Amino acid sequence: MTEGKRALVTGASRNLGVAICERLAAAGMSVAAGYHTSREPAEDLVARLRSGMGGRHVAVGADVNDAGEVAAMVTAAADALGGTIDVLVNNAGPYGMTPFAEMAEAEWDAVWDANVRASFLAVREVVPGMRAAGWGRIVNLSAVSAYVRNRSIYGLAKDATVTFTEQLALELAPEITVNAIAPGQIAESLTDLGEFSRDWAARVTERTPMGRLVTRAELAELVYVLCTPAFDMVTGLTIPVDGGLRLPRF
């Protein structure tokens, strides 16, 4: 039932965004890979999708904090893929965890805007087409940081994503479902956090009840599944995928 659908994935030039694009393309969707400054990796991804899976795929650039650029990105994606966007995955979202009392306004703005405001801007652009088509899927990326209280502005932004998802689900039903995924630490992204904590890899694995970390492929699979008929009656849900890391303990 996903064959022929058109998907836009933001933050798709690297890491989890790439895995999501690959999985949706494998399911028969045409994919627009959104990027900001990393044009070449996004275009390389699109070339791989076209050669390996066929179909219409495109790289679309935008500063997702700029309303005009987001509107142009959605229009370009729809034009290139041959119709309105059916699936939106709000994946873009930088990390930051400077304590609030020490944080510069620029860091607040950068993390909050890319994680929360950018999702709002993208949703506003795709909803009219989804409503007109009578079908749409929006998947937001939260994080396990939403459930703890030591992740500063990033945790606040990902917590806001949960509320945003729930309210959108009410506003956009019945044509459109809106859900979120809250990954724990992603196995392939451990090195990205080296600057924040040298012993993070050992600590986070030790505190994960399942004994290992979630992979990008597992998260991409869940994004895809949320777009299938099996989840037609699921909306407003945030699914933690963290191996139990978020669970409180003494």
Candidate from 4-13, 192-201, 215-224 with smallest mean pLDDT: 192-201
Number of H helices, E strands in the chain: 8, 7
Domains of the chain by residue range? 6-241
pLDDT at 249: 84
pLDDT at 191: 77
Q: What is the pTM of this model?
A: 0.96
pLDDT of 192 over the 80 cut: no
The total number of residues shown for the chain amounts to 250
Q: Of 180, 173, 168, give the one whose Cα is nearest residue 123.
A: 168
pLDDT of 194 over the 70 cut: no
* Tens digits of residue pLDDT in 153-175: 999 999 999 999 999 999 999 99
Average pLDDT, the chain: 94
Cβ atoms of 23 and 221 within 8 Å: the answer is: yes
Hey, which residues are catalytic here? Answer: 154
Per DSSP, the three-state class of 237 is coil
pLDDT of 197 over the 80 cut: no
Does 31 or 201 have the greater pLDDT score? Answer: 31
pLDDT of 196 over the 70 cut: no
* Tens digits of residue pLDDT in 36-90: 999 999 999 999 999 998 889 999 999 999 999 999 999 999 999 999 999 999 9
Domain 6-241 - what CATH class? alpha beta
> What average pLDDT does this structure show over 92-97?
89
pLDDT at 54: 87
DSSP line for 70-118: HHHHHHHHHHHHTS---EEEE---------GGG--HHHHHHHHIIIIIH
> What average pLDDT does this structure show over 10-31?
97
